[in-house]
Amino acid sequence: MARKKKDKKQAFEESHTLSFNPENIPLPPDLALSRFLPIDLALSDKQEPQKPETEINLSPKAPAKHKEWHHYDGHRQRLRQRFLNTGGQDMPDYEFLELLLFRSQSRKDTKPLAKALLAHFGSLAEVLSADIRRLQEVKGCGAAIATDLKIVGTAAARMLLSGLLKRDVFNSWDKVVAYCRSVMASEEREQFRVLFLDKKNGLIIDKIMQTGTVDYTPVYPREVIKHALDLAASSLVLVHNHPSGDPTPSRQDIAMTTKLQETAAGMNITIYDHLIIGRNGYASFRKLDLL
């Protein structure tokens, strides 16, 4: 009976004991010890066996991903190249607007939106000067796109303004009108602003004096003259817009201009002109012999 128990114990130990190195090659101390101890004892106070430095992945290799190609990608490349070659001189408005939309519509064909914007506003200039809210009335033109377009429009207006500062505006009158139209033609409320000029007729500053309703804006002659004196301005160009689109002067426009002219004359300040900006044109008091 004792012999059977001994045989079972010996068989158990042999089955749980590592075999000797058959080639009699010296082993590291950890493995040398493990030849004489059961596996669970040999590893109880030792670190876990180290994994091989590199593991071989036998799973099939995933196919390489290729960039998705859209039918409009080639069109974009051609438009960009044409712009680089010609500076955009040969591009119709809708293609130039496509270029502007590339950044905000990176994963879409921009031609449909460009044409929709032009159909809604009538011209590229009207698109770029439009209010953000009005831009979003066009399907597909969200807040981000509308903001990007407004940034471009504002940058263009600033370029026009920088060309007028400290220069004789009367020698660049077309630029004065172009600037005023760019910043006021699409405004939905009446806005009264003044271009303050120095003794050499150079533009000192363009200042918005008042913003009113859709058909009226209050004008305070004393406030205008006070700003003129503070800026040492010698002459003024008055500008306001008619959101209705018709730039024809109203009776109120004529009466206000006359009163402001009388107030300015008492301070040796000249009212050179009063421009009324409409959607598709403008009116000049000087050309209409109203000044």
User: pLDDT tens, 34-88?
Assistant: 454 454 544 445 555 555 554 545 454 545 554 554 555 667 788 888 888 888 7
Total-model pTM: 0.63
Region(s) of the chain under CATH 3.40.140.10? 168-284
8-state DSSP, 68: -
pLDDT computed for residue 90 by the predictor:
82
Cα–Cα distance for residue pair 136/154, rounded to 1 Å: 17
pLDDT computed for residue 84 by the predictor:
85
Closest by Cα among 256, 209, 211 to 228? 209
Cα–Cα distance for residue pair 114/149, rounded to 1 Å: 11
Cα–Cα distance for residue pair 112/145, rounded to 1 Å: 14
Domain 73-159 is in which class?
mainly alpha
CATH topology of domain 168-284: Cytidine Deaminase; domain 2 (3.40.140)
Region(s) of the chain under CATH 1.10.150? 73-159
Q: What are phi and psi of 196, to 5 degrees?
A: -90, 125
pLDDT at 290 over 50: yes
Q: What is the mean pLDDT of residues 159-171?
A: 80
Where is mean pLDDT largest: 50-54, 90-94, 194-198, 199-203? 194-198
